[in-house]
Amino acid sequence: MLLFVSVICDAYTPSGEAIPTNNRAAAARIFSEERVVDEEPWFGIEQEYTLLQKNVKWPLGWPVNGYPGPQGPYYCGVGADKAWGRDIVNAHYKACLYSGIKISGVNGEVMPGQWEFQVGPVVGIAAGDQIWAARYILERITEMADVVLSFDPKPILGDWNGAGAHTNYSTKSMRADGGYEVIKKAIDKMRARHKVHIAAYGKGNERRLTGKHETADINTFSWGVANRGASIRVGRDTEREGKGYLEDRRPASNMDPYVVTSLIAETTILFDPTK
């Protein structure tokens, strides 16, 4: 029997300082602040990614030196002319379930060769842990399949969707009666720190956040109910029930989930715009 044990570790120098790439340490500090712990922050993350043919680094299913038919039939598509890589996607889904990751779904994306998996809801620092673990498992499975995994936020320039990591978020007060008011206050705080968030939301995101292809322009903060073209989307259910969650649509697929989740918690729970 072959037994794999995977453990997530964060790394420190011999003197006990977090090494520069260890973003978990700072995130864990924010998530252990009493006010943050009391709010039980939940995250649901949609991780998009693109599968590439190994030698040409061109999306799976695309003709080499050419393009497939325009976007439209591929999102959640089925069939050999619409979906490429489903074996990988399904193997990853099962491996995540066996690993105890709270994977909640998978789907084919708008750009052919692009897929998404969803993790959540997960509380606090565990969201970052689970996304990193799920990414690692996906790397291992694509490696076996001889396919290259890309988290680039805009793998193909032109009229093709980019890849994001939409982050759903709620606190205890947002989920309780009257939560819609708390959500709107949180959105105001996020507006005030738009630049700080954008800077932390992944490299190359300016190629993706163009205002086209279901994105908001990188320089303009906006929010809306059921609006896929806004920085922050609030669902119809949340509006109707007067409580629920918000969806931050800005993070790029290559974002660090420790950075993104802890920054959202910091801005919405700890940040005081009057100071």
Ligand X SMILES: *[C@@H]1O[C@H](CO)[C@@H](O)[C@H](O)[C@H]1NC(C)=O
Q: Which residues bind ligand X (CB under 6 A)?
A: 44-46, 104, 118, 120, 168, 233, 235, 247
Compare residues 46 and 256 and give the one whose CB is closer to ligand X. Answer: 46
Nearer Cβ to ligand X, position 168 or 205? 168
Shortest approach of ligand X to residue 215 CB, angstroms?
A: 15
What is the phi/psi pair of residue 127, to 5°? -65, -45
The residue among 78 and 226 lying less far from ligand X, judged by its C-beta, is 226
CB of residue 45 vs ligand X: minimum separation in angstroms?
Answer: 6
Residues 41, 184: Cα–Cα separation, whole Å: 16
Instruction: State the distance between the two ends of the chain, measured CA to CA, in whole angstroms.
Output: 59
Smaller CB separation from ligand X, 62 or 215: 215
Nearest to 208 by CA among 50, 21, 58: 50
Residue 118 C-beta: closest distance to ligand X, Å: 4
Given the complex with ligand X, which of 133 and 148 has the nearer CB atom? 133
Residue number with the smallest Cβ distance to ligand X: 44
Beta strands in 161-262 (DSSP E): 167-170, 223-225, 232-234, 246-248
Number of neighbours of residue 227 by Cβ within 10 angstroms: 15
Minimum CB–partner distance for residue 214 and ligand X (Å):
12
Closest by CA to 126, choosing from 202, 47, 40, 48, is: 40
Q: Are 166 and 247 in contact (CB under 8 A)?
A: yes
Residue 272 CB, nearest approach to ligand X (Å): 27
Q: What are phi and psi of 169, to 5 degrees?
A: -150, 140
